[in-house]
Structure 1
Amino acid sequence: MSILAQPGTPQVSAIDAQRVEDTLSRIAPKWTTWVAQTLATQRDPMRVRDVAARVPFVSEQLVGKRLAQMHADGLVTRAEDLPGAPYRLSASGAALAPVHRRLAEWSQDYLPGRMAGAERVEDAVRRLYLRHSTAVIQTLGDGPLRFVELAEQAGLDHNHTHHRLIRLQLDGLVTRTGPHSRDPYVLTDAGAALGPVYAAVEHWSDPTAAARPAAGPGPRATRTRSAARPAPEGIRTAAALRRSPAAPGGLFSHAPQPQPRVPATITAQSSPSRSR
């Protein structure tokens, strides 16, 4: 199940799990990536209605709310704090580009389905940002663990561990090595490949990270596809994109090649219903 580690590839066990989780929560709200990437395509500041015109499957009211939250989170700035004043990406918001690329590449490599680039990023973040997910993935980064061992090493009670494992299995990041309840849990290839993604997120969030080199593109690991299913809202967004000619290109474009079938060995262990 594990990926062959490449020299210099950041490992899941090396990151600050709490920092990564807090940072992912900032960029996780739906449409944040779409709005950020729309602003990134323009040199001049954009008003709410202009952003909404380029994301026609989102209401102008919702775009306004998202921009207000991004402003509070320091991802966008305004020339003046007046109603109708245009927005532009802050330095922090513009610096998200490498994080988005990492998330999109990881999703393209390990998650099935055809999605626009921005949708891929948001789908990836939704699989990663939930509380305790990073701690569980990081704990399993050292190898397979039984449920009780995992809960103890991750510092979680059994209830939190159980619910998080259900979600992580549904999202294709964790699986069980056998059919019995005492069989150990292990990271899938998708889960084990998160080291560079986490490193990029941590580097973006850490104000002292300028003293350290950011995670470069690096070699892509040999892998098999994980049992991850696109969320229903992702399917709806993709359909809206196909209907609309107004979406920008680049990271908004669909992946050019079809995805291979998911190996049955990844999905054989469990099929719980999706829940948080």
Structure 2
Amino acid sequence: MPTPAQHPTFSFDSIDPQRVEDALARIGPKWTTWSTMVLAQENRPMRVRDVSVQLPFVSEQNVSKRLATMHADGLVTRSDNRRGAPYRLSALGESLAPLHSTLSDWSRAHLPLGTMAEAERIENALRRLNLRDATAVIQVLGAGGPMRFVHISEEAGLDTPWARQRLLRLQADGLVSRTGTRHGDPYVLTDAGQALGAVYASVEHWSAPIAERRASPTPRPVAAATRTNVGVPLGPDGARTAAALRRSTAAPNSLFSHVPQPQPRVPAAVTAQSAPGRGR
């Protein structure tokens, strides 16, 4: 059983739970990491069927849906919107490499999962974190734990039934434990939960370009008499977004260098051991 951490190494007070959860909602859905790694390793535009061939354990329909969502979330781009147009990673998608490495390191250090493919390990970690209000509960315990249930509920701003459900899930995932067996005994973060400070910091760092775009003022529309495209607000796939994404410092050639070997083609036996999908 995971043991409580004794020496916090990160200030949980500095976490913005909503920003963390918004970012996890983009990268946490099932098959997102697998699709990202395939596109990174191939480093070329790929159609849905090309990605699906590299992921034989995922239906082509699911690959198509995942890539469409990743496109809407800015993780991949397309040359145009024609049916069948290929996808490739955007700069934002490429910049996931350091965050994926952080998630993998955290999993290896704190979760007894045994041998599994790198993408599967990362998605397992994300399934534990991509839960509504989980970040707020972990932040409360990281900043003020050990803490009794009623105080966790109050500090996190959650109603009693939902707070209890969330704590039970976090306990099952090895991120939270009780200090005793009696009713009312306080909760505390495990070593795995305490180590999430560094993971959350990486998530917030990765999401900085997204927050920057949202904070940017909306450009003024061009006056009707101007009759020119100069100054017209650009769409989501326009140059303005591309320029914002290019501010990432990730180097495409070093993407996923922590992966010991190409992972997409996973033996059926390994894939069958994957944890079931978990909803938010």
Do they superpose with TM above 0.5? yes
Match of 2:99 in 1: 99
**TM-score using structure 1 length:** 0.74
Residues 275, 183 of structure 1: alpha-carbon distance in 2 compared, 3 angstrom cutoff: farther
Superposed CA offset, 1:198-242 (max 9, x none): 0111111122789xxx9xxxxxxxxxxxxxxxxxxxxxxx9x822
**Structure 1, unpaired ranges of 5+:** 215-237, 248-273
CA distance in 2, matches of 1:120, 1:171: 14
- Check the 8 A contact 2:177/2:188 in 1, yes or no: yes
Q: What is the identity, as a one-letter code, of the residue corresponding to 2:135?
A: T
Match of 1:2 in 2: 5
- Check the 8 A contact 1:45/1:88 in 2, yes or no: yes
Match of 2:187 in 1: 185
1:40 is displaced (CA, Å) by 0.5
Residues 153, 244 of structure 1: alpha-carbon distance in 2 compared, 3 angstrom cutoff: closer
CA distance in 1, matches of 2:57, 2:135: 31
1:60 has 2:60 as partner: yes
1:13 is displaced (CA, Å) by 2.9
- Structure label with greater radius of gyration: 2
1:3 is displaced (CA, Å) by 4.7
CA distance in 2, matches of 1:104, 1:169: 20
Greater Cα offset, 169-178 or 40-49: 40-49
Match of 2:18 in 1: 18
1:144 is displaced (CA, Å) by 0.3
- Check the 8 A contact 1:177/1:186 in 2, yes or no: yes
Superposed CA offset, 1:55-93 (max 9, x none): 111111111111011111111000111111110001111
CA distance in 1, matches of 2:55, 2:199: 26
- Check the 8 A contact 1:11/1:196 in 2, yes or no: no
Match of 2:204 in 1: 202
Match of 2:267 in 1: 242
CA distance in 2, matches of 1:243, 1:134: 33
Superposed CA offset, 1:179-204 (max 9, x none): 01210000000000001110111111
CA distance in 2, matches of 1:18, 1:105: 24
Matched residue of 2:180: which SS?
A: coil
Matched residue of 1:130: which SS?
A: coil
Q: What is the identity, as a one-letter code, of the residue corresponding to 2:124?
A: D
- Check the 8 A contact 1:76/1:89 in 2, yes or no: yes
CA distance in 2, matches of 1:112, 1:242: 21
Kindly, what percent of the aligned residue pairs are identical? Answer: 58
Residues 244, 81 of structure 1: alpha-carbon distance in 2 compared, 3 angstrom cutoff: farther
CA distance in 2, matches of 1:16, 1:275: 22
CA distance in 1, matches of 2:63, 2:97: 20
CA distance in 2, matches of 1:104, 1:112: 12
Alignment of 1:86-235 (within 5 A): 86-113=86-113, 114-142=115-143, 143-207=145-209
1:175 is displaced (CA, Å) by 0.4
Q: What is the identity, as a one-letter code, of the residue corresponding to 2:266?
A: L
Residues 126, 244 of structure 1: alpha-carbon distance in 2 compared, 3 angstrom cutoff: closer
**TM-score using structure 2 length:** 0.73
Q: What is the identity, as a one-letter code, of the residue corresponding to 1:135?
A: A
Matched residue of 2:266: which SS?
A: helix
1:27 is displaced (CA, Å) by 1.0
1:38 has 2:41 as partner: no
Match of 1:227 in 2: none
Superposition CA RMSD, Å = 2.6
1:15 is displaced (CA, Å) by 1.2
- Check the 8 A contact 2:131/2:279 in 1, yes or no: no
CA distance in 2, matches of 1:35, 1:186: 35
Q: What is the identity, as a one-letter code, of the residue corresponding to 1:157?
A: D
